[in-house]
A and B are shown apart, each in its own frame.
Chain A
Amino acid sequence: MTGPSEPRDAFDTLRRPHQPIEPDPEFAAELRAALRAAVLAAGGTQMTTTDSRTVGSAARMGSLTPYLPVPDARRAIEFYVAVFGATPLGEPFVMADGTIGHAEVAIGDSVLMLAEEFPEIGHVVAPSGGATLRVEVPDADAAVERAVELGAERIGPVEDRGHGRSGRIRDPFGQRWLVAMTEREPTPEPTYRHGEVGYFTFTVPDDEKAKAFYGSVLGWRFAPGNVPRAWRVEGSGLPESGLWGGQAYAGWKLMYAVDDLAAAADRVRASGGVVRELKDEPYGRTADCVDDQGVEFWLWEE
């Protein structure tokens, strides 16, 4: 028997953190090949990873999504942002060696996927030629100029051959693009007539509790909003709806569009309601009100 530092239970001395041991190289190579085959065999269908159930983004996974090999994905994303007005979707997936294994950007209503070169599966840039992607931009001339400034190769002039103005480039990452002028009408902003609901806010004292509750009961999902403790609600079916914590009033609090905020506020008071606060917001003027039975709401003039 030795000092007090001796373990009390002999079995505790069995504890043995494992040490790395290099296996037989032949075995290592065989398993590497088998692993690669297993990953790639099922990988083709699983690489499309944008969760298309997520509502709200203009870009959706369509039936067809290009997946580009690029030598430098970070620079490529910067280029597509600068030239095509792309929006990065989420964080790129960074491999252990620092290369980008997967990234997605939204261009208009489409998703573009890219990854740095992966020779094992033939995910490499075509040395010359290759497929051409047609992309729509608001101004084809400006986009091609910008692309050339940033190192793209111009292929012929920007011109109208009867299908609107378009130009062709090979970008600095070896991808060929037909840069075309947007032909579609932009989707108009929704307008609200007097008396219509412009926004649905679910006000609660504790937003985290509400997220947990309705996430569990109804499967709603929540995206961070523009102000602290505010969350966009996805899954309620309401076109414009949010959850807002830190509020004394618990329940749905609607925002009604009105033609004339001051006149509407007067009518609230005359009808036995209370107008608590008038505010100027980026989207218009609002009045925080309570009706004559205690229901809270906002009035809103665009």
Chain B
Amino acid sequence: MREPRIRPDPAFALLELYERALPEVYGYLLSRCGNRTLAEELTSETFLGAVGACRKQGTPPVSVGWLIGIARHKLADHWRRQAREDRGLRLVHHGEPETVDPWEGRLDALRARQVLARLGPAHRAALTLRYVDGLGVPEVAGHLGRTVHATEALIVRARAAFRREYEGEEGGRDRAE
């Protein structure tokens, strides 16, 4: 017999998954944005946005990984909004390098987080997605709504800004080895 295709409402799966997924999504967002109020806002946006998203045709099954993907988009959107607002306030140009300086060694995790938090939203978004989340450049470009080429250039500038901040901060005492 031929069977009608069954497509149960996947939003129920979302409700089912909520208790388990909430700390994962919130943990992801809080560790990236470092601000409880913002993490809560973005967590809400993630779950409520997922209701509509999971009902679209061709959406993968609801899972923690899928929700983290939505959370990442919400976070990237937040930084993009912030970057747009900042652009309106000031024009910053440092004459930044266009090539990557090799920088070897290991960064202190706590200080690296503090440095990331002090960077502008565009730099912070680029480095978080590229290095903290470990995405490839094309994926980062997708999240930031830029071309791959522009994203590569942004990452180079973000790296330089990060390194300046990291090394300058304590007179180079804790410079990466």
Q: Which residues of A contact B (CB under 8 A)?
A: 1-2, 6-16, 18-24, 27-28, 31-32, 34-36, 38-39, 42-43, 46-47, 49-52, 54-61, 87, 89-91, 93, 95-97, 101-102, 104, 106, 111, 223, 232, 234
Contact = CB atoms under 8 A, between A and B. Distances in A.
Contact of B105 (A6, A89, A93, A232): A6
Q: Top 9 closest A-B pairs, CB basis?
A: A90-B6, A93-B8, A102-B8, A56-B2, A21-B27, A20-B23, A14-B131, A18-B28, A50-B4
Interface string B1-43: 1111111110111111110101110111011100010011001
Given A46-B9, A49-B8, A23 B1 contact: no
A56 B103 CA distance: 65
Nearest to B46: A31
A21 B7 CA distance: 33
Contact of A51 (B5, B12, B40): B5
A60 B4 CA distance: 8
Nearest to B159: A11
Contact of B40 (A22, A27, A49, A57): A27
B2 A104 contact: no
B104 A43 contact: no
Contacts of B3: 54, 57, 89-90
B22 A23 contact: yes
B150 interface: no
B103 A11 contact: yes
A104 B6 CA distance: 8
Interface string B154-177: 000001001000000000000011
A232 B40 contact: no
A34 B22 CA distance: 13
B6 A93 contact: yes
Given A18-B68, A32-B18, A96 B131 contact: no
A23 B51 CA distance: 20
A12 B8 CA distance: 42
Given A11-B107, A35-B48, A47-B8, 8 more contacts: A7-B106, A15-B132, A18-B28, A22-B26, A24-B36, A32-B18, A35-B51, A36-B15
Contacts of A18: 24, 27-28, 31-32, 68
Given A24-B40, A31-B47, A38-B48, A54 B31 contact: no
Contact of A89 (B4, B27, B106): B4
B114 to A, nearest CB: 12
B14 to A, nearest CB: 7
B132 A101 contact: no
A54 B8 contact: no
Nearest to A104: B6
Interface in B121-135: 127, 130-132, 134
A12 B43 CA distance: 27
A80 to B, nearest CB: 16
A205 B177 CA distance: 63
A23 B26 contact: yes
Nearest to A59: B4
Contacts of B12: 39, 43, 93, 95, 101-102
Nearest to A90: B6
Contacts of A23: 22-23, 26, 30, 39-40, 43
B23 A21 contact: yes
Contact of B2 (A15, A50, A93, A223): A223
A61 to B, nearest CB: 7
